[in-house]
Amino acid sequence: MIFAGTNTTAVTLEWAMSNLFNHPQVLEKAKQTLRLCPAAPLLLSHFSKNECTIGGYDVPKNSMLFINAWAIHRDPQLWNDALKFRPERFQKCQAEAEDYGYKFMAFGLGRRACPGMALANILSFALGSMIQCFEWKRVTDKQIDSAEGNGLPMPKAEPLEVMCIARDIIHKELSSFQRNSY
């Protein structure tokens, strides 16, 4: 369990940074990445204890079921502009927000939810710290490639290559830390 969430968190950070570089006007709005580019497109498998019907399909007892979060998160019947990077869809207060129900399940549900969910929940803090502490620049003027690679977690086809420059506040904090350390 020590490694739960580490690789998926790294992959999600890479996708988030890629999306933010391709959409600089929404640099401060980053939650959408979990819906569009889930690190694990198939959630942990489940077994049916009894015969049942799911979405009009008869499922025999003891069948192995996989939930395709990638397909659910991109389904135009569930999401307006399903393939569009629109972080503002998550910014409404809970009372006004869309009914997400089983539409958004980046970490799975129930007893078989992702064991790395606690680590992933701090992803926004890690991403926020990266945005706050560094100036980020593209290495080239080209759009960041958003092609998906193969594997679990689902990586980018081409690794993200960008340049970061520490903001002045980081230099001051590091200098202060060095002066005060033993």
- Binding residues for heme, by number, are 114
* Torsion 57-62-63-64 (CA) sign: positive
Give me the residues paired with residue 148 across strands: 156
Neighbours of 167 (CB within 10 A): 13
Residues 6+ apart with CB under 8 A from 127: 13, 16, 17, 30
Closest residue by Cα to residue 171 from 118, 134, 143, 138: 134
Report the distance separating Cα 3 and Cα 120, nearest Å: 12
Answer yes or no: are the C-beta atoms of 102 and 65 closer than 8 Å: no
In the block, residue with structure tokens 């089983």: 102
